[in-house]
C-alpha cells in the first residue's frame, strides 16, 4: 500500500534520486488501482489529543489490539515506540489481558489505560491500524503463516516509511540505518525535543483560547 504522494516521495528520497522523480512518484501513487480499491475514508474525530512530549527511545510505547479479522476472528497486537515511531506487529489468538498485565508488572512498566473504541486517545496507533486494515483487504490469507507474512510485510513498509513527526523513517533513529540501504543515520534528539515543545505549546495555546471562549459563552448565557 502506498501511504500517499508526499510520504511516498520522502521515503524514496532516503535511498534514491533520479531526474523527474517527484512527477514519477506522484503519478505512480495516483494511478495505483490496488491502493484505490481498499482504502477507507478518513473519519474526523474532532479535537486531537495533546501529543506526548517524550523523545527518549523506548521510554513510552503505545499498545493496542486490532481486529478481529476474517472467519477465524484472529487479532493483531500492535506496539509503537512513540519517539522513533518504530512499529512491532504480531498476530495473536486473543488479547491475553491477564498475561499482558502480569508481563508489564514483572518489568516494572507503568501502564496508562484509555477508553475503548476512542481513536482520539491513541491517535498514533489508530493510524497504523488503518494502514494494516487497508493492506489486509487486498490479501488472501488462509492460515497463520499467511497472516504472519502479511503483517511482516506491513511492518517492514511502515519502518521504511518517512515519518512527519521526526522527518526520518522509524528505522533510522531506532537502528541507525535505513531499512532499504545501509546508510548510517543519527537522530538529533535535541532538535526533536525543541520541535515537540513548540507543537505542545501551540496546542496548549489553542486549547486555552478555546476554553476561555467557552467560559465566556457560558457566562453570557
Find cell 476472528 and name the residue: 73
pLDDT of residue 12: 85
Residue 154 to residues 3, 72, 150, 185, Cα–Cα distance (Å): 11, 20, 6, 22
Residue 34 to residues 39, 54, 81, 194, Cα–Cα distance (Å): 9, 37, 29, 39
pLDDT of residue 162: 87
Which stretches does DSSP call E strand in the chain?
61-69, 74-81, 87-92, 162-163, 168-169
Domain 5-187 annotated CATH 3.20.20.140: no
Phi and psi at 75, nearest 5°, equal -125, 165
pLDDT of residue 13: 84
pLDDT of residue 218: 44
Q: What is the pLDDT along the chain (221 residues), one digit of tens a residue?
A: 677 788 888 888 877 889 999 999 888 888 887 776 655 555 555 554 555 556 678 888 888 888 777 777 778 888 999 888 899 988 876 656 677 778 788 888 777 766 655 555 567 788 788 878 877 776 666 676 777 888 888 899 889 888 887 888 888 888 888 888 777 777 776 666 666 666 656 655 555 545 544 554 444 43
What pTM did the predictor assign?
A: 0.67
pLDDT of residue 213: 47
Please choose, from the candidates 29, 213, 15, 48, the residue with its C-alpha nearest in 3D space to the C-alpha of residue 126: 48
pLDDT of residue 219: 43
Instruction: Report, in angstroms and rounded to the nearest whole number, the Rg of the chain calculated over CA atoms.
Output: 20
pLDDT of residue 211: 56
pLDDT of residue 23: 92
Q: Is 23 exposed, middle or buried (0-12, 13-18, 19+ CB in 10 A)?
A: exposed
Cis-peptide into 21, omega within 30 deg? no
Strands 87-92 and 168-169: unpaired
pLDDT of residue 201: 60
Measured CA to CA, the distance from residue 40 to residue 38 in angstroms comes to: 6
Amino acid at each position: 500500500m502506498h501511504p500517499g504522494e508526499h510520504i511516498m516521495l520522502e521515503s524514496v528520497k532516503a535511498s534514491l534520486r533520479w531526474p523527474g522523480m517527484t512527477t514519477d512518484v506522484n503519478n505512480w501513487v495516483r494511478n495505483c488501482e490496488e491502493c484505490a480499491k481498499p482504502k477507507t475514508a478518513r473519519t474526523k474525530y474532532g479535537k486531537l489529543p495533546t501529543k506526548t512530549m517524550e523523545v527518549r527511545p523506548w521510554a513510552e510505547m503505545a499498545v493496542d489490539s486490532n481486529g478481529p479479522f476474517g472467519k477465524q476472528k484472529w487479532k493483531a497486537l500492535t506496539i509503537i515506540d512513540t519517539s522513533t515511531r518504530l512499529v512491532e506487529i504480531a498476530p495473536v489468538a486473543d488479547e491475553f489481558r491477564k498475561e499482558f498485565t502480569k508481563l508489564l508488572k514483572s518489568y516494572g512498566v507503568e501502564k496508562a489505560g484509555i477508553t475503548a473504541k476512542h481513536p482520539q486517545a491513541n491517535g498514533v496507533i489508530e493510524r497504523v491500524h488503518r494502514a494494516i486494515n487497508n493492506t489486509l483487504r487486498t490479501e488472501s490469507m488462509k492460515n497463520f503463516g499467511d497472516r504472519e507474512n502479511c503483517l511482516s510485510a506491513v511492518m517492514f513498509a511502515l519502518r521504511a516509511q518517512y515519518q512527519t513527526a521526526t522527518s526520518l523513517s522509524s528505522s533510522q533513529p531506532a537502528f541507525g540505518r535505513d531499512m532499504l540501504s545501509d546508510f548510517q543515520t543519527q537522530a538529533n534528539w535535541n532538535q526533536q525535543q525543541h520541535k515537540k515543545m513548540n507543537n505542545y505549546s501551540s496546542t496548549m495555546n489553542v486549547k486555552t483560547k478555546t476554553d476561555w471562549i467557552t467560559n465566556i459563552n457560558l457566562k453570557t448565557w
